[in-house]
Amino acid sequence: MKTITCSVSMSSSDVQASSKIKRGVDVNFTTRILIIAAMLLVLAGCGNGEAEPSDAPFDAFSKTIEAYDVSELAVPTWRDVDGVTYINDILIVNEEYGLPADYNPGVEPEVIEAYTELIDDAAAEGFDLVIVSGFRSYQDQVEVYDHFVETLGQEAADLRTLQAGHSEHQSGLAVDIGSVESASTAAIPFGETPDYEWMKDVAHEYGFIIRYQEGKEDITGLGYEPWHIRYVGEKAATEIYAQDLVLEEYLGID
């Protein structure tokens, strides 16, 4: 950007003529034109000055670029292990990423350990958490999905569960939980119990996330499921909880 300073010099007669214009005194039309033309020529000449452009904006931009450490950018790492997709070493299974039909790990040991600690601490606080559904094989999910389709219809079923090969239950990393009361009757939604209110704010401390959050249905592909928790490890779970994310957002695939 150029900083331009210019001055306009006028003869005494020009000043007198100009002052007459300002006072509203009638002057010769030709004189007016000459004064205006002279002023325009002087101003036009200001645009051709030799003032050096300032480098300040470019210096500031350069310093900003130098201060930015590109090594801090998180670049997701993808791995495919026998048809199972891992992003940043976290297994991902959803509508898009599936599991092979023969993937049959059962409930992973670290999930059992973390869940046992969770329900023990819940009991110490006066809450009774129970497992409603744990590991499901590929064939188990075929039966669950078909049941929902027969009961609710295709469209409604797709909001409630996923087709075989795309359910987190087959990963061995997810469980459906409830309180003793909500597990015994559908009339008491788990998401409206004191047990859930306690659990939702501490689950990340045990490595679990609420996998299908309210308001994130367009991202996860499933409706709100406060009972479905997924093990991702304490570090990832804490970051997901603190930023109010779902797993797809955290992994950058939303």
**Pair of tokens at residue 9:** 């010099």
Based on the residue annotation, tell me whether 181 is a catalytic residue of this protein. no
Can you give the pTM of this predicted structure? 0.70
Average pLDDT over residues 203-209: 99
- In this structure, are 230 and 202 located in the same domain? yes
- In this structure, are 25 and 143 located in the same domain? no
Give the domain range for residue 159.
78-251
Among candidate residues 180, 193, 162, 178, the one with its CA nearest the CA of residue 227 = 178
pLDDT in tens, 47-69: 444 445 555 544 544 444 454 44
Per the CB < 8 A criterion, the answer to whether 175 and 124 are in contact is no
Distance, CA of 113 to CA of 108 (rounded, Å): 9
Average pLDDT over residues 136-152: 97
Which of these is catalytic: 225, 234, 239, 249?
225
- In this structure, are 181 and 150 located in the same domain? yes
- In this structure, are 209 and 84 located in the same domain? yes
The answer, yes or no, to whether residue 17 has pLDDT greater than 50, is no
Structural domains in the chain (count)? 2
The residues pairing with 86 across neighbouring beta strands, listed in sequence order, are 79, 91
- In this structure, are 2 and 108 located in the same domain? no
Which of the two residues, 189 and 33, has the higher pLDDT score? 189
Per the CB < 8 A criterion, the answer to whether 128 and 210 are in contact is no
Q: So what's the pLDDT on residue 75? A: 75
Per the CB < 8 A criterion, the answer to whether 89 and 78 are in contact is no
